Amino acid sequence: MPRRNVPTPTLVFEKSVPGRTGCNLPKADTPPVDLEAVLGETRADLVLPEISELDTVRHFTNLSQINYGIDTGFYPLGSCTMKYNPRINERTAQIPGFTHLHPMQPVETIQGALQILVGVQDILKEITGFDEICLQPVAGAHGEMTCLMLIKAYHEARGDAKRTVVLIPDSAHGTNPASAARCGYAVRSIPTDAEGVTDLGALEKALDDSVAGLMLTNPSTLGLFEPNIEAVCAMVHRAGGLVFCDGANMNAMVGTTRPGDHGFDCMHLNLHKTFSTPHGGGGPGCGAIGLKAHLAPFLPTPVVRKEGEAYVLDEDRPQSIGRVSPFFGQFLMEVRAYTYLMAYGRERMADISRYSVLNANYVMARLRDVLPPAHDRFCMHECVLTAKRYKQYGVRALDISKRLIDYGFHPPTNYFPLIVPEAMMIEPTETEGKDTLDRFCDAMIAICHEAETDPDLLHAAPISQIVGRLDETAAVKNLDVRWRA
């Protein structure tokens, strides 16, 4: 068990020793160039490090080992679907025929690439139950915004200008209201009831002819399947609104059930979650969208489709909302997702949702005595637990999460959804085995015991890392990655 006396690793950046060199270049056989004369001004103050090859290799290898990633350990960050990204995805994304493409090439020279895009679109249509798929958006939030632009274009095309409000449940991800606001909509919040599902009475009251649509996450951010989903969609449609599905949680449904069959008009998917393409720093991702035929006239252009034997870029869409991305979105993400989809195949696709739901329920069952679920029923691909009982010892969910780092695990999501006090949201994904889940649950149980017996240990955590607790807001708002001597 990690204690306070664990030696903290240190990292020395100043490794330069005058006269050392890491390269062994052959004697120059060209005349020397006077850089000052060529470039005008050279920076004498830029002192380059003098360092051997071995020291350089060790420096960067050590740096890479400080980072925590899905390749180094379990990453149960709820709502983020941190599943393993299979290496074969990277192999195909590195095929020179893909990496050497130029987006301005004539369409007849990029037929293979367009075939991949149409292939991804076709499979996603089948998985989601929508009539059209567009791969242009480069993030989940971008997909949300694109869907709202479609909804807006739909109402405008019908001359229905009075719809200025978007309804969003209070459990929604923060990007939902941000996307609605970005599209010029006012947001009306819909409460979640005691069972953790959308409050139908409150929804009924909020529906009037000012409502453009409802943004609904299913399964919700509480990890619960919305049991009244068809009724919800029908209510919104009766009031003249459309229903958008935040499909960031599609991992719970792949191959099992389809949002297009539930009554939704459109949805976004996060290929960088569900379909195993890498996450990172707000991109590069793919927030692909699916939509029903009545929204198809407004699709972003160019629409990539097959015409006879050829793949074409269809720009002839007079009602289109236009481009939402340069060229075709993140093409190599689509190559990775296509590889993943083809590797699974239609027959095994449901394993994704079955095992992700099984794993989340296993973790919930093992932890329920120390961290009870926010809502006591089977969860979908993630479980939301509450650490509120440890407040009496002065311990918060954040302290438990930070201590988990000392046990060698990435923390789960904390304090989201906002409606659960001391929320800890755990999403194991289908790619983890029982042994990993057991080690994680053992660590969580041990930490909860420490919370009662030695709360200061948790307050000091993490004690095993090069840095302790960061000012996370400042790290986001005032990121400064420059190293100074």
Identity at 174, one-letter amino acid code:
G
User: Is the CB of 80 or the CB of 207 nearer to ligand PLP?
Assistant: 80
Distance CA 101, CA 145 (A): 29
- Would you count residue 217 as binding ligand PLP (CB under 6 A)? yes
- Would you count residue 276 as binding ligand PLP (CB under 6 A)? no
User: Is the CB of 139 or the CB of 357 nearer to ligand PLP?
Assistant: 139
Residues 148-207 that bind ligand PLP (CB under 6 A): 173, 175
Which of 89, 146, 171, 221 is close enough to bind ligand PLP by CB under 6 A? 221
User: Is the CB of 173 or the CB of 258 nearer to ligand PLP?
Assistant: 173
Question: CB 90 → ligand PLP: shortest distance, Å?
Answer: 20
Cite the DSSP H helix spans in 67-139.
87-93, 96-99, 111-128
Which of 85, 89, 251, 270 is close enough to bind ligand PLP by CB under 6 A? 270
Distance CA 199, CA 185 (A): 22
Give the interface size with ligand PLP as a residue count (CB under 6 A): 15
Question: CB 135 → ligand PLP: shortest distance, Å?
Answer: 14
User: Is the CB of 246 or the CB of 422 nearer to ligand PLP?
Assistant: 246
- Would you count residue 259 as binding ligand PLP (CB under 6 A)? no
Tokens of 319: 């009602």
User: Is the CB of 150 or the CB of 443 nearer to ligand PLP?
Assistant: 150
Identity at 26, one-letter amino acid code:
P
User: Is the CB of 248 or the CB of 398 nearer to ligand PLP?
Assistant: 248
Stretch that binds ligand PLP, among 105-113, 227-235, 242-250, 403-411 (CB under 6 A): 242-250
- Would you count residue 226 as binding ligand PLP (CB under 6 A)? no
- Would you count residue 248 as binding ligand PLP (CB under 6 A)? yes
Distance CA 298, CA 148 (A): 11
Question: CB 418 → ligand PLP: shortest distance, Å?
Answer: 13
User: Is the CB of 114 or the CB of 172 nearer to ligand PLP?
Assistant: 172
Of 159, 163, 176, 246, the C-alpha closest to 207 is 163
Of 371, 377, 374, the C-alpha closest to 400 is 371
Exposure of 366 by Cβ count < 10 A (0-12 exposed, 13-18 middle, 19+ buried)? middle
User: Is the CB of 248 or the CB of 324 nearer to ligand PLP?
Assistant: 248
User: Is the CB of 268 or the CB of 403 nearer to ligand PLP?
Assistant: 268
- Would you count residue 277 as binding ligand PLP (CB under 6 A)? no
DSSP for 373-400, written as a single string: BSS-S--SS-EEEE-GGGGGGT--HHHH
DSSP classification of residue 99: H
262 touches 130 (CB < 8 A): no
Question: CB 146 → ligand PLP: shortest distance, Å?
Answer: 12
Distance CA 309, CA 91 (A): 28
User: Is the CB of 143 or the CB of 300 nearer to ligand PLP?
Assistant: 143
Question: CB 362 → ligand PLP: shortest distance, Å?
Answer: 22
List Cβ neighbours of 100 (8 Å cut-off, separation of 6 or more).
none
228 touches 262 (CB < 8 A): no
- Which backbone phi and psi does 44 adopt, to 5 degrees? -65, -20
User: Is the CB of 175 or the CB of 330 nearer to ligand PLP?
Assistant: 175
Tokens of 258: 């389809």
User: Is the CB of 252 or the CB of 299 nearer to ligand PLP?
Assistant: 252
Which of 70, 74, 76, 80 is close enough to bind ligand PLP by CB under 6 A? 80
Of 333, 270, 245, 289, the C-alpha closest to 80 is 270
Distance CA 353, CA 124 (A): 15
Question: CB 278 → ligand PLP: shortest distance, Å?
Answer: 12
Residues 433-472 that bind ligand PLP (CB under 6 A): none
Question: CB 431 → ligand PLP: shortest distance, Å?
Answer: 18
Question: CB 477 → ligand PLP: shortest distance, Å?
Answer: 18
Q: Order across the sheet with 383-386: list the strands.
A: 383-386, 423-426, 413-414
Of 327, 421, 378, the C-alpha closest to 138 is 327
Q: Pattern of binders to ligand PLP over 136-155, x per CB under 6 A?
A: ---xxx--------------
Distance CA 403, CA 453 (A): 14
Cite the DSSP H helix spans in 184-248.
200-206, 229-238
Exposure of 425 by Cβ count < 10 A (0-12 exposed, 13-18 middle, 19+ buried)? buried
Question: CB 222 → ligand PLP: shortest distance, Å?
Answer: 11
Q: Pattern of binders to ligand PLP over 279-308, x per CB under 6 A?
A: ------x-x---------------------
- Would you count residue 79 as binding ligand PLP (CB under 6 A)? yes
Distance CA 285, CA 154 (A): 27
Which of 226, 246, 382, 432 is close enough to bind ligand PLP by CB under 6 A? 246
Dihedral sign of CA atoms 396, 402, 406, 409 in order: positive
The residue of the chain with the least Cβ separation from ligand PLP equals 140
The residues binding ligand PLP (CB under 6 A) are 79-80, 139-141, 173, 175, 217, 221, 246, 248-249, 270, 285, 287
